[in-house]
Chains A and B, each alone.
Chain A
Amino acid sequence: MFMPGANPAMLRDAGLYGADSLMFDLEDAVSITEKDTARALVHFALKTFDYGDTETIVRINDLNTVGKLDIDAVVRAGVDVVRLPKTETAQDVIDADEVITEVEKACGREVGSTGIFAAIESAEGVLNALSIATASPRVRGIALGAEDYVTNLKTQRAYGDNMQLYFAREMILHAARTAGVAAVDTVYSDVDNMDGFRAEVEHIKTLGFDGKSVINPRQIPVVNDVYAPTEKEIQKAKEIVWAAREAEEKGLGVISVRGKMVDKPVIARAERTIMLAKVSGLIGEEDL
């Protein structure tokens, strides 16, 4: 969930809504005159509040403006991931990696322990998605930032049109899967259109995205609901995982469940369903 880094109440309450990741924004959500004060607030928030297992991310400003000061503030405060805005080339990732490494060394943090999340927000970034995703071992994921992307394409968001962002989404997905990192979809800015939001989440889940960025706590239950597997899917996944476990113990290769052949990709999908059911709180270890 995105939230402005300049708001003390939001920083305090951020952990209450059930988001998987919290993204404190020092970039576009903070006015140019408040970059310094937001940087201090976010530093203290990261040092003070217990966000539990929720991943903390800070979107920094461009390294050519105050991005280096942002990195210094948040890496020292223990942030999990630094989100780079408007990533165009692999060099952007490498440059940020170097600054992060410098700060990690200076503050005694394990080198490499801070992740990078690269936001791709332009035609050039989309075409370079794979080299961006593989530019550093720190890269945990890549995401589409659609508002800037469509502006760069000289158009605007057309909500409900699944073709408009299709190319960018597929490029980002293929790059993420090749690199073995997460693919996260763009925000849906029309917060009052919950039906449209649900339809978009269903669409990007079908494409294969790992999740969706949200800008309002109201959007979180919808994403969790769409991504949570159904009872039927969970049952089927359990049968596949059990059968695979049994086959492995007996040294069997291909197996069949409910008359259908089960091979490696089917097992991988079943394991992912089980993982989603677990994180959605639908099943526990005892169910397996």
Chain B
Amino acid sequence: MGRTGGRAPGIGVILSMELKQQAVAGTAESSDIMVTIDPVGGDAVEISLDSSVEKAFGDRIREVIAETLKNLGVTGVKVTAVDKGALDCTVQARTIAAVYRAAGTAGEFDWKEIDAWNA
């Protein structure tokens, strides 16, 4: 599954997703965000954002991406995001989908864990 760590499910687990390849999720359509995930190794997380709503929501979008990566236990990653006014839930959905693709587990989402972050 590409997950290399984590406690037993259901007790506030922090997943650890092992990134294997570059992956993209999302589109350049209005209200969407295209998130590209590049595994770069190490512990750093670098987020580069180009947003049509940068002035009002740029910091918030970076925060949602960073929080989602943290919840997924992803480090050593460069994220390039092109935003066209996506809501938080879309930013989360696209980031998670891109990470799962990069981990080689596209679509096999662990909803129990993911929903626990937002509970």
Contact = CB atoms under 8 A, between A and B. Distances in A.
A7 B84 CA distance: 13
B109 A40 contact: yes
Given A43-B93, A43-B111, A72-B111, 7 more contacts: A7-B29, A8-B32, A9-B30, A40-B25, A47-B115, A69-B108, A76-B111
Closest 9 CB pairs of A and B: A36-B107, A9-B31, A44-B89, A48-B89, A40-B93, A37-B97, A8-B90, A44-B93, A36-B106
A194 to B, nearest CB: 27
24 contacts: A7-B29, A7-B32, A8-B87, A8-B90, A8-B93, A36-B100, A36-B101, A40-B94, A41-B90, A41-B93, A41-B94, A43-B93, A43-B109, A44-B90, A45-B89, A47-B89, A48-B87, A49-B89, A66-B107, A69-B107, A73-B109, A77-B111, A106-B112, A107-B111
A272 interface: no
Interface of A is mostly: helix
Contacts, number: 69
B53 to A, nearest CB: 14
Contacts of A73: 109, 111
Contacts of A36: 97, 100-101, 106-107
A72 B112 CA distance: 10
Q: Please tell me the size bucket of the interface on B.
A: 20 to 34
Contact of B29 (A9, A40, A43): A9
Interface in B73-119: 86-90, 92-94, 96-97, 100-101, 106-109, 111-112, 115, 118
A218 interface: no
A264 interface: no
Interface string B20-54: 00000110011110000000000000000000000
A12 B107 contact: no
Interface in A9-67: 9, 12, 35-37, 39-41, 43-45, 47-49, 66
Contact of A40 (B31, B97, B118): B97
A40 B23 CA distance: 15
A248 B10 CA distance: 56
Contacts of B89: 44-45, 47-49
A48 B115 CA distance: 11
Nearest to B105: A36
Contacts of A107: 111-112
Contacts of B96: 40
B115 A76 contact: yes
Contacts of A40: 25, 93-94, 96-97, 107, 109
A47 B89 CA distance: 9
Contacts of B112: 76, 106-107
Contacts of A7: 29, 32
Nearest to B85: A9
Contact of B107 (A8, A39, A44, A48): A39
